[in-house]
Amino acid sequence: MSRGEILKMKEMSPSLRERFEALKAFMDQCARGPVCVAFSGGVDSSLLLKAACESAKRFHNPVYAVTFQTMLHPACDLETAARVAAELGADHHVIEVNELELAKLRDNPPDRCYLCKRHLFQTLLAFARERGADCVLDGTNEDDLHVYRPGLKALEELGIISPLARFHITKQEVKELAAGYGLSTASRPSTPCMATRIPYGETFDYALLRRIEEGEKGLRAIFTGNIRLRVHRDTARIELDPDQMEKAVRRREEICGMLNSLGFRYITLDLAGFCSGSMDTVPEHFKDTL
């Protein structure tokens, strides 16, 4: 850790410092053997990978950063993951997975995330076993435990460890720690699964996902911050940070032209602004069954 990074770490609150030291001690335990990290290239998994690599150096053990190449995530995620893994000194691997081979997933049920996570992490566990890695980690943070995340059940069933959540480190604290380390992903907006742009119960295919991906790529060329293109059949609903909304109105003709060309008939701006998980409108009685 550089002198500048150490100075930034000293600025953290006593509570966060205590929890972060506990996390590092836990990572030291994991790193007594090979470690496998589910690595998306986002800020959560980047911080986790950094901690794993620091601990692994003490014991001269490998850290495998495993990225899933899937049809449900933007292509830019793979490029970012490869770059960041190289920066941190991890052994980067890419596993190709076709989630839509699962017939139930194509139907887009409310437990879609559970089905997908179980499929992905079973594949990851097989990879880890082949390399003798008993510790298989993912970047779930404290905030994820308090919103609708059916995939967490799959992680629990499979024995995947989530150190950030275990030591109650929130998303904002993850960003603070990542900035302290000087990680290039510290301010990177999250890029969740493309299926989160579609209401539960509406079937989807790769063609629709690629249209959404192209639409968001076009929007990112115009706006900064958080961007989501939610799709309700032939209507595209744009979610932005509030400070970007005036720009959306000024450039509405350009935006409408771009999205119309992708096959979206109606273009709307959500005045509520960006909201992570805005499609997670699941009946309470269904949540109780997960």
pTM: 0.85
Q: What is the pLDDT of residue 132?
A: 97
At position 282, the amino acid (one-letter code) is: V
| pLDDT tens readout for residues 198-250 | 999 998 888 999 999 999 999 999 999 999 999 999 999 999 999 999 999 99
Q: Are 188 and 39 in contact (CB under 8 A)?
A: no
Q: What is the pLDDT of residue 281?
A: 55
The answer for residues whose C-beta is within 8 angstroms of residue 12's C-beta and 6 or more apart is: 20, 176, 177, 180
In this prediction, the residues of the chain whose per-residue pLDDT falls under 50 are: 2-4, 6-7, 283, 285-287, 289-290
CATH number, span 3-181: 3.40.50.620
Q: What is the CA radius of gyration of the chain?
A: 20
Q: Are 231 and 268 in contact (CB under 8 A)?
A: no
For the chain, the structural domain boundaries read 3-181, 194-269
Q: What is the pLDDT of residue 278?
A: 85
Give strand pairing partners of 227: 240
Torsion, Cα 67 72 78 81, to 10 degrees, reads -50
Q: What is the pLDDT of residue 10?
A: 62
